Amino acid sequence: MKAFLRHFSFEFVNGVRNKNLLLLTYLLPVGFYLMMGFVMVEINPLFLEHMIPAMVIFGMLSAALLGIPDPLVTSRENGVFRSYKINGVPSLTILLMPALSTIIHLVIVTAIITFSAPVLFDAPSPVNWGWYGLIFLAASVAVVGLSILIGVISKTSRMTVLWSQLVYLPSMMLGGLMIPYSLLPESVQRLARILPATLAMNAFNGLAMGGVSDFSAWGSVATLVSGGVLAFILALFLFSWDSRNTTRRAHPLLGLAALLPYLLQVFFN
């Protein structure tokens, strides 16, 4: 436990000390939130209605999808994991540390956005704080789990960019952050439904913000949690200490199985 806590405290500090992580975890989400608050609300006053959840989800996408995978790949390729292995750091801990520290950083960013938006921009606050917290956790687990999996299965840093952008860009455009889900064409809605961002926005709107969900909000929360947990389990199964010396338990494409909960909920939710 002492080792775990010490490792966690280092990982947490690393998120602030490392300039790239600082940029992706704090500066980009908070900077973008302020810009959207001052500019977007002038252009589209309706944006204010879902500003808080949209900016919280944007923070998750930036911190996790852009911040987690690349350090995992470079650590594996540079021999950091080899150092960890010979000193007895378990693979579970190696994957849990960036996941937990990112979620804690996200709690801070979320608090900044949630408490400043009503004051700065007159954005509506959540009406159900319990659900707000639970949906935040579910969405964080989903996005962080997916990000860890991308870091584990990618061979190179370039591949992490490709895989991350495959989730990040559609989430930004179709996830309900900029354009409400209900305004998307039906064919695009089907595609948007498999994105964690869409499910999180739907759950926030239906259960926490006092709005109306476009499809089952409970189902969205369940999908986010199961998708995140499945992605983490797959990451642990496919984890490799060293790409030169150790072989994976299965082909990295098995990681695509993490999409199953998202695909299934399109039919059942």
Partner 1 sequence: MDQSLIEVDNFTKRYQDFIAVDKVSFSVHEGEIFGLLGPNGAGKTSTLECLEGLRQPDTGSIRVAGIIPASEFHKLRNVIGVQLQSSSLPDSITPLEAIKLFSAYHQVEPRFEILDRLGLDVKKSAQYYELSTGQKRKLALILAIMHQPRVLFLDEPTAGLDVSTRSVLHQMIKELQRGGTTIILATHDMAEAEQLSDRVAILLNGKLVKIGSPLEITATGAGLTKISVRTRFSSLPDAMNSFPAVSHILHQDEYQVYFSTDIGPTVSALIEYLDRSDDTLVDLRIERPSLEDRFLEITNLGERQ
**Interface residue list for partner 1 (CB under 8 A):** 2-3, 6-7, 10, 13-14, 17-18, 71, 75, 78-80, 82-83, 85-89, 241-242, 245-246
Minimal distance, residue 249 CB to partner 1, in Å: 14
- Cα 214–chain centre separation: 21
Minimal distance, residue 187 CB to partner 1, in Å: 45
Question: In whole angstroms, what is the distance from residue 111 CA to residue 12 CA?
Answer: 17
Instruction: Using the minimum distance from each CB to partner 1, give the nearer residue, 40 or 89.
Output: 89
Instruction: Using the minimum distance from each CB to partner 1, give the nearer residue, 41 or 89.
Output: 89
Output the CA–CA distances (angstroms, integers) from residue 115 to 1, 121, 145, 163, 268, in the order listed. Answer: 34, 11, 27, 33, 36
Question: In whole angstroms, what is the distance from residue 147 CA to residue 235 CA?
Answer: 9
Minimal distance, residue 24 CB to partner 1, in Å: 14
Question: In whole angstroms, what is the distance from residue 168 CA to residue 164 CA?
Answer: 6
Instruction: Using the minimum distance from each CB to partner 1, give the nearer residue, 5 or 119.
Output: 5
Residue 91: CB atoms within 10 Å: 17
Minimal distance, residue 87 CB to partner 1, in Å: 4
Instruction: Using the minimum distance from each CB to partner 1, give the nearer residue, 215 or 241.
Output: 241
Tokens representing 261 are 């909960």
